[in-house]
Amino acid sequence: MNEPGAAACSTCGLLVVNVAPKRRSEDFAQRKRRSSDIEDVQCPFCEGTINSRAIRCRHCSEIVNETYYRERNRRIRTRINYTSWVAYLFGLGALLVFRPVGLLSIATGLLLSIVYYAIPVEPPPARNAKKTPFGTFIRRQLKMERVAFPLPHLRNKKLIFVGTPLIAALVGYSANFLLLQQPMNDVLKENAAFRGMDVSTHYEYWVIPGVVVYDLRGLSFRQTPIDVHTALLEFATKMKDKRYSRVELAYRGIEKFSIDGGSFQKLGVEYAKHDFDFVLYKFPRLFHAEDGSHPITTTGSGRDALLQFHREWYGQDQMTQTLGNGMLAGR
């Protein structure tokens, strides 16, 4: 007779086949299971019992899953970096069409960049761990994430080289026409005295939004110096709510004088208030010649300075010689 659960006969040594023996390999397999299969583990800092999927220890609050922490912060940083670049590019494009929207978009991109650099790359060190050097911390924080901009698949890649310049030219022309040329066209239509006058207003080189070029392209025999001057003042009044760094006065594409944006804005404001003494006789001192000097050097009356300004602007051209003679005769 053998005891219950015996693996072999105690008398003859034969194996009892109806009883499954307990193997030691099963014990080793149970001990060597993957840590992810074990529900409870010990915290390496305080040796408290925590869940195997825990990110922080519930006893000492130390981070026990640094891989998850790094991956999460990397995803957040990448998304913020991508959004900031989109805001920058959109803002640069919007500057040509509507400046406030462009500036707001660029400011948003700047704030997102600050948030990007503020997100820590590495988890905070443990209480008893060795502190990271400040230089290493800065280098980690300033490390840029690679950003991939999704581009639509094009069967004919030549469209990129043809379509991009066309779109850029269309946006640039629309911005120049809507923001500058259209107000000038309205000025010329509002007064019958300006009939036959041709003025082109656009950004410098058609792409620099901070500089405006007021190009007097042509005059008819009807115009007098006061008509030309009034058209300029009417345009300044239209633009008095906008700030530019500089305004260039040109005749047939040749730049003659320049005035800073603040003074040009003041010219429109004073004309709107009917300060004719300022806009007729005191304004020449606000303009500078292309060499940086003041163009009006006469010591005569304000009327003489006004006539000299217009004569040097366009009165020396052969096409306007009659008008120039009229200015000289008016003296």
Per-residue H/E/C for the chain: CCCCCCCECCCCCCECCCCCCCCHHHHHHHHCCCHHHCCEEECCCCCCEEECCCCECCCCCCECCHHHHHHHHHHHHHHHHHHHHHHHHHHHHHCCCCHHHHHHHHHHHHHHHHHHHHCCCCCCCCCCCCCCCHHHHHHHHCCCCCCCCCCCCCCCCHHHHHHHHHHHHHHHHHHHHHHHHHHHHHHHHHCHHHCCCEEEEEEECCCEEEEEEEEEEECCCCCCHHHHHHHHHHHHHHCCCCCCCEEEEEECCEEEEEEEHHHHHHHHHHHHCCCHHHHHHHHHHHCEECCCCCCCCCCCCHHHHHHHHHHHHHHCCHHHHHHHHHHHHHC
The whole-chain average pLDDT of the chain stands at 78
Using the predicted structure, report yes or no on whether residue 85 has a pLDDT greater than 80. yes
Q: How sure is the predictor about 330, in pLDDT bands with cuts at 50, 70 and 90?
A: very low
Query: What pLDDT score does 121 carry?
Result: 76
Q: What is the C-alpha separation between 311 and 317, in angstroms, rounded?
A: 9
- In the structure, what pLDDT confidence band is assigned to residue 249 with cuts at 50, 70 and 90? very high
Higher pLDDT, 38 or 60: 60
pLDDT band of 329, cuts 50, 70, 90: very low
Q: What is the pLDDT of residue 38?
A: 58
The predicted pLDDT at position 7 comes to 78
- The model scores a pTM over 0.75: no
Q: What integer is the mean pLDDT of 190-216?
A: 90
Q: With bands split at pLDDT 50, 70 and 90, how would you rate the model's confidence at 272? A: very high
- pLDDT value at 327 more than 60: no
**pLDDT tens by residue, 98-147:** 667 778 888 888 898 888 888 887 776 666 656 767 677 677 777 766 65
Per-residue pLDDT tens digits for 164-176 = 667 777 777 888 8
